[in-house]
Amino acid sequence: MFALLALGGDIGSSSGPTLVGIVSNAFSGNLKVGILAATIFPILLLVGAFLCKKIMLRNGGKRNI
């Protein structure tokens, strides 16, 4: 399990800067636009946490695993 968590961290830490570089190159090397595109990762994390909490409250606090 720890290996899978480490793999997820490695993928995330390499895909973020890659996305910044790709988007920056698409916008004529504008690094500000690339970094703005990288903000999608924390936004998705917050949306996912909010949805998980909403689903748990709807189920009466029970986890369906």
Amino acid occupying residue 62: K
pTM equals 0.64
Longest dimension (CA), the chain: 51
Q: Are the beta carbons of 13 and 7 closer than 8 angstroms?
A: no
Q: Are the beta carbons of 30 and 21 closer than 8 angstroms?
A: no
Q: For 14-41, how does the pLDDT look when each residue is reduced to its tens digit (9 = 90+)?
A: 888 999 999 999 999 999 999 998 888 8
Residue ranges covered by each domain of the chain: 2-58
